[in-house]
């Protein structure tokens, strides 16, 4: 019987600072056979831990096509365990279970092929693999737009990739809500000042599209409201939700929401599956 609670050792190959409180870890399972069997899809997460400090759910943010070679996690320091992660260096080990949950839908299954990605703060992390995936030609075929809000420019994640995304035909719009931008653009992407919902009033939003949203809970309702005004249907909106997690497999109840489990039925939900629940 496979033990769903058994974590596998993974080695930190590289780690780099993305922002003041977010580090990007490049990881590989010590057991290469384990790595070769590792398959995930954008938006799925792993439970990653340090012996003595427990485990935390973290999204895999590298591309699924590389899943059998390595995987990446971007971790923000917010508490005990995440602080311990930030003290690790290349060559150190962490312990990983998963991948778990349902990620973002596959583009080929979407009735509406244009895409709108909306990320707030650390909520941008689970959208990264999709942005990368879409840079491989998809952005030339269909319209792709990313709205990304943070408190200020210093909080922006994955900056080095913005140029490549835009070159691939993706429109990237940034907005800060605490500190005014010092420049008109960051890495070629326009930046504004205000809440992310302001973008819905100031720029043209892609039409006939599917929306992927991730951010703090209050952001969901406001963004969905704006999308509704633009006639996005419930079935064309996807959200990645956050909850406390222990097991990752739908048993411990920590992540429950109404009749669903965020770990198992989510973290990505189609809006019509959760619109009567408190997000």
Partner 1 sequence: MTKQNIDILFKKILKEYQIYAPVLANKELFVKKALNIKEIDYSGRIPLNSWKQLFLPDCETLFTYTGNFKKEKANYPKVCAGNMTILDLRALGLYDLVFSEDPYYQQRRQNILVVGFSFGAPNEENFADWKVFSMKLEENILEHVPFDIFLEKDKKGNFKIYSGSIKGQELLEKYKIKEYKNIKFAGLIPEEGPDKRMLELGKSIKKSANHPLWDELDKICFACGKCSLVCPTCFCFDTEDVPDKDSVKRQRLWGNCFYPEFTAIAGGKNYTDTVKKKIKFWYDHKFSRIPAEFKVPGCVSCNRCTLVCPVGIDIIKNLNRLNSKVTKKSAKK
Ligand X SMILES: Cc1cc2nc3c(=O)[nH]c(=O)nc-3n(C[C@H](O)[C@H](O)[C@H](O)COP(=O)(O)OP(=O)(O)OC[C@H]3O[C@@H](n4cnc5c(N)ncnc54)[C@H](O)[C@@H]3O)c2cc1C
Q: Is 52 in the site for ligand X (CB under 6 A)?
A: no
User: Which member of 81, 144, 146, 268 binds ligand X (CB under 6 A)?
Assistant: 81
User: Which member of 242, 261, 268, 274 binds ligand X (CB under 6 A)?
Assistant: 242
B/e letters for 242-267, b = 16+ CB within 10 Å, e = fewer, are beebbbbbbeeeebbbeebbbbbbbb
| Distance separating the N- and C-terminal Cα atoms of the chain | 35
Distance CA 24, CA 213 (A): 21
Please identify, among the stretches 78-86, 141-149, 195-203, 230-238, the one whose residues bind ligand X according to the rule CB under 6 A.
78-86
- x/- track of binding to ligand FES for residues 187-226 (CB under 6 A): ----------------------------------------
Distance CA 69, CA 113 (A): 29
Distance CA 9, CA 6 (A): 10
Alpha helices in 18-167 (DSSP H): 32-36, 80-86, 125-134, 138-141, 162-167
Q: Is 79 in the site for partner 1 (CB under 8 A)?
A: yes
Alpha helices in 11-124 (DSSP H): 32-36, 80-86
Alpha helices in the chain (DSSP H): 32-36, 80-86, 125-134, 138-141, 162-167, 199-202, 217-229, 271-274
- x/- track of binding to ligand X for residues 83-122 (CB under 6 A): ---------------------------------------x
Residue (56 or 211) nearer to ligand X, CB: 56
Q: Is 277 in the site for ligand FES (CB under 6 A)?
A: no
Q: Is 48 in the site for ligand X (CB under 6 A)?
A: no
Question: H or E element: which one contains 118?
Answer: strand 114-120
User: Which member of 74, 127, 199, 274 binds ligand X (CB under 6 A)?
Assistant: 74
120 binds, options ligand X, partner 1, ligand FES, none, Cβ within 5 to 8 A by partner type: none
User: Which member of 245, 247, 268, 274 binds ligand X (CB under 6 A)?
Assistant: 245
We find the least distance from the C-beta atom of residue 149 to ligand FES, in angstroms, to be: 28
What residues line the site for ligand X (CB under 6 A)? 45, 54, 56-59, 74-76, 78-82, 122, 125, 242-245, 267
């Amino acid at each position: 019987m496979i033990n769903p609670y058994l974590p596998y050792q993974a080695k930190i190959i590289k780690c780099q600072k993305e922002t003041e409180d977010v580090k990007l870890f490049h990881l590989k399972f010590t057991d290469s056979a384990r790595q070769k069997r590792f398959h995930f899809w954008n938006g799925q997460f792993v439970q990653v831990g340090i012996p003595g400090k427990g485990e935390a759910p973290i999204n895999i943010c590298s591309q699924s096509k590389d899943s059998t070679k390595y995987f990446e996690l971007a971790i923000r320091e917010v508490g005990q365990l995440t602080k311990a992660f930030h003290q690790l260096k290349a060559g150190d080990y962490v312990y990983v279970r998963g991948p778990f949950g349902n990620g973002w839908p596959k583009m080929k299954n979407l009735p509406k092929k244009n895409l709108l990605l909306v990320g707030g703060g650390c909520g941008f992390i689970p959208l990264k693999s999709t942005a990368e995936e879409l840079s491989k030609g998809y952005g030339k075929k269909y319209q792709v737009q990313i709205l990304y809000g943070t408190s200020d420019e210093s909080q922006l994640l994955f900056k080095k990739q913005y140029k490549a995304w835009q070159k691939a035909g993706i429109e990237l719009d940034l907005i800060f809500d605490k500190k005014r931008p010092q420049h008109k653009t960051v890495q070629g992407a326009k930046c504004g000042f205000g809440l992310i919902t302001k973008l819905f009033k100031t720029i043209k939003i892609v039409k006939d599209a599917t929306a992927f949203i991730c951010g703090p809970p209050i952001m969901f309702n406001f963004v969905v409201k704006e999308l509704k005004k633009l006639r996005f249907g419930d079935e064309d909106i996807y959200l990645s939700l956050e909850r406390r997690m222990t097991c990752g497999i739908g048993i411990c109840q920590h992540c429950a929401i109404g009749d669903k489990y965020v770990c198992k039925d989510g973290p990505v939900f189609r809006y019509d599956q959760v619109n009567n629940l408190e997000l």
